[in-house]
Chains A and B, each alone.
Chain A
Amino acid sequence: MLTINNRDKIEWQPGMTVSDVLNKMGYNYSLITVTVNGVLILEEDYDTYEVEDNAQISVFHLAHGG
């Protein structure tokens, strides 16, 4: 089981990548930062980084304005 943003739970599957998790959660907005167990995952690694079972994943939307 994976936990996203301390709130949503999805079933873990072997070989699941960050991209798989984002697709499953319906995140298609690109302006996000993603961490897995507190470690930032670079966008170029979303397709290859495999998440472990029981991982805590956070997805932060980045808003314009500064």
Chain B
Amino acid sequence: MELGKDLIFARNVEGLTALMQNAVVGIAGCGGLGSNIAVALTRAGIGKLILLDFDIIEPSNLNRQYFFLNDVGKLKVDALSKHLKNINSEIIIEKQIKQIDKEDTEKIFYPADILIEAFDRAESKKFLIESWVKAFPDKPVIVGNGLSGFGNTDLLKVQKVGNIYFCGDGFTNMDLGLTSARVAIVANMQANLAIEIIAKKGGLNADYKQPRQD
């Protein structure tokens, strides 16, 4: 079914859809973080995503990643692209099906206004952050850092240093297991931050003040 953007994004705050439409976001890793980030950004009206992942979907991914039983065995980037186009058929997706090292970051993600780090391993997080900031010191990178286990929602936070944003608790490791809700919270913190950066850059106010209760 083809639906116009004005219908799909009717609940976006005025002005946001146009800003999102013109934005390009890179997502490095399409697992628990990346798949959920991509869905959130697509639902917010993102114009273009660069999706990077080399892996195929395994049954153990279904506890937290945005995939379904009949996706098992497919490439994550392919299955995710299909789901995203099923939300907004006009989204532009650049598929990057490969493993990367620090030399590749710049040439793969250069069109992106923002890079979102959604890798599994801390070693990969490190080289991605360093190679991105070295190539594009003025462009933001949003890192998922510490999202294992369950509960403990109040430990999750956003910390900013320069143009690097860290989302998560900053310390929980995979030996605590990876659980749907906590992974998705951090993924959505990352997506929410990307939306905020895009909106603010476009002059859309995102500073909410709680009204006084007394």
Q: Is the CB of B168 within 8 A of A63?
A: yes
Which residues in chain A, 10-51, are within 8 Å of chain B measured between CB atoms?
A: 31-33, 35, 38-40, 42-43
Which B residues lie within 8 Å of A64 (CB)? 120-122, 148, 173-174
- Bound CA–CA A49/B15 (angstroms): 44
Q: Is the CB of A40 within 8 A of B174?
A: no
Q: Is the CB of B162 within 8 A of A62?
A: no
- Bound CA–CA A62/B164 (angstroms): 13
Q: Is the CB of B29 within 8 A of A66?
A: yes
Q: Is the CB of A31 within 8 A of B122?
A: yes
Which B residues lie within 8 Å of A66 (CB)? 29, 31-34, 117-121, 125, 144, 147
- Bound CA–CA A62/B122 (angstroms): 5
CB B32 to nearest CB in A, in angstroms, measures: 6
Q: Is the CB of B171 within 8 A of A61?
A: yes
Stretch at the interface among B41-49, B88-96, B126-134, B203-211: B126-134
CB A23 to nearest CB in B, in angstroms, measures: 19
Q: Is the CB of A40 within 8 A of B146?
A: no
Q: Which residue of A has the minimal Cβ distance to B121?
A: A64
Query: Which B residues fall within an 8 A CB radius of A?
Result: 29, 31-34, 117-123, 125-126, 129-130, 133-134, 137, 143-148, 159, 161-162, 164, 166, 168-174, 178, 183
